[in-house]
Every structure is written in structure tokens, then in C-alpha cells.
Amino acid sequence: MSNQLGALEARFFSWTQNRSVVTVKTGDLVKILRLTPRQEASLLSRMARKRLIVALKRGLYLIPKTLPAGGVFSPSAYIVIDALMKDVRATGYQISGLTAFNSYGLDTQIPNQLDIYNDKLSGMRTIAGQKYRFIKVLPARLGFTQNYQVREREGELTIEFSSLPRAVFDAIYDFEKYGTIPKAYGWLKERVQDRVFIKEFLVVLLKLANVSTLKRVGYVLEKARCKKSVLDAIQRKIPKKLAFISLDPTKKARGKINSKWGVIINE
């Protein structure tokens, strides 16, 4: 399909480039370019098929800052995420999961999707050939991030990843999403003598963990000879007289019992 611009497409890009427009919504062109709704729908659909613009969701399109070489717009995943989060007015968002694990050198598995914690969107989406999993959480469950400056064709962006301690926590707490137990225990054990890491990890744990995660982490840290003050802080958060849980929740609950932490050692 030829990507030579037609008259309406040329008018469209003249307007977006002169005004530094990043996204367009259905209805915008009716007012600005004085198109009928049918003309607008036809124009946007045609440009999306020609990959001159990218459909982020129904009625929302991402626009290139300048027409790319070859006429095909292939935005980075970070540009896509930032545009979507701004559109839904997310309180915040952060990239975690396999992308974060790989970035921190925790895991060598190449991620085939990006996992984004946020407070507005949920579910899987495929945009411009890239898979995204939006994980909706309460605003209070966001935070503990590391900022990265990313330079793209469309400009410079500040992208928030889960910090290393938060990423290790995510791997243990959200193990069902990532398949990261028991290997995440190893990531934690390797850093038990890192005071800066353990200090932030403890803050994350005490704020965000459920009881099962507190028990598992407490046992793992004690076996790794973590400081007593850290272990005591975790144990104070665990209610007494609760049922035993498996250390590895992906396996059958068979093994020795650790009464102090309330876990079944089923490694």
C-alpha cells in the first residue's frame, strides 16, 4: 500500500506538526479541520491502516512528531504507555514484571510483553505489534520506583520502573503472574547483606505484603541470616494462630513445618 499523502492527510499532518499534537481523539477533526464525522472516521481509519498513525484504543490515535522515513510510524513501547496513561489520567504507573527483572539482571528471559502497574487500566492489549498487560491496583499500591530518561524520536520521556527492591517484592507477591517462585527467593537471598536494598525492601514489604507473603519472606530471610531487627519487624506484622501456608505455593503442601513462620517447607 502506498503511503503517499493525500490532500486530507497532508492537511492533517500540517495541523498536528504545527501544533505539536501527540494524540487525536474522535471528534477533534470535525471541529478543527471542519470534516464531517464520516470524513473524519474514514481519514483516521485509512491512516491507521497505512500505519501513518497508531490506534491506541477505540477513538484515540497516537501521532508521530514528524513523518518517519518510509512513512511507517513505529512508536516505542514507552511512548505508547505514556500516551495511554495520560489519556486515562492515571495517578501514576510503573513498569515491572519480566521487563524490570531483565533490566536489573535478575533474569535472562527475554520479555514478550510489558507489565504496567497503574490505577486505571487492566487487561491485555496489543498495540502496533507489541503486547502490554495493564495491572490495575489502588493508588496506594504504586510507588517505590526508579526513574529513567528515555530519548525517542518524539522527544525525551521520564519512565518509571519498579525499583530493584520493589521488583523483587513483585516477583514474590505476584508470583502467579510471573512464575517467579522459587527463583525470586534466590534473588532476595543474594542481597540479604545489602543494607540499602534490605532497608527499602522491608519498607515495601511492610506496606504492601499480605500475610502469606510476610510468612514466606520472613522464613527465607531468616534462613539467609538476615538481621534480627528486620525479622522482628516482619514477625510483628503477622497475626498469631493462622493456618500454615506452603513456602512454594506452586507445589503440593508436603514437607516439614516451621512453626515460627507458619510455613510448610515444600521446596
Report pLDDT digits (tens) over 181-210: 999 999 999 999 999 999 999 999 999 999
Of 103, 135, 162, which closes a domain?
162
Of 28, 52, 71, which closes a domain?
71
**172 occurs within a structural domain:** no
The pLDDT of residue 154 = 65
Burial class from Cβ neighbours inside 10 Å (0-12, 13-18, 19+) for residue 219 reads buried
- 233-247 tens-digit pLDDT: 999 999 987 789 999
Of 18, 41, 71, which closes a domain?
71
Are 22 and 51 part of one and the same domain? Answer: yes
Q: How many angstroms separate the Cα of 135 from the Cα of each of 97, 109, 132, 171?
A: 10, 20, 10, 14
- Which residue, among 30, 116, 38, has the nearest Cα to 77 in the 3D structure? 116
Residue whose C-alpha cell is 528515555? 150
Q: Is the pLDDT of residue 48 over 90?
A: yes
The pLDDT of residue 110 = 87
Q: For strand 263-265 and strand 245-246, is the pairing parallel, antiparallel, or unpaired? A: parallel
**199 occurs within a structural domain:** yes
Are 133 and 185 part of one and the same domain? Answer: no
pTM: 0.90
- Which residue, among 106, 93, 205, has the nearest Cα to 164 in the 3D structure? 106
Q: What sign does the CA torsion over 207, 213, 214, 217 have?
A: negative
Do 40 and 53 touch, CB atoms closer than 8 A? no
Q: Which of 135-139, 185-189, 194-198, 254-258 has the lowest mean pLDDT?
A: 254-258
- Which residue, among 236, 192, 186, 234, has the nearest Cα to 213 in the 3D structure? 234
pLDDT class of 2 with cuts at 50, 70, 90 = low
Average pLDDT over residues 29-57: 93
Are 156 and 200 part of one and the same domain? Answer: no
Are 221 and 258 part of one and the same domain? Answer: yes
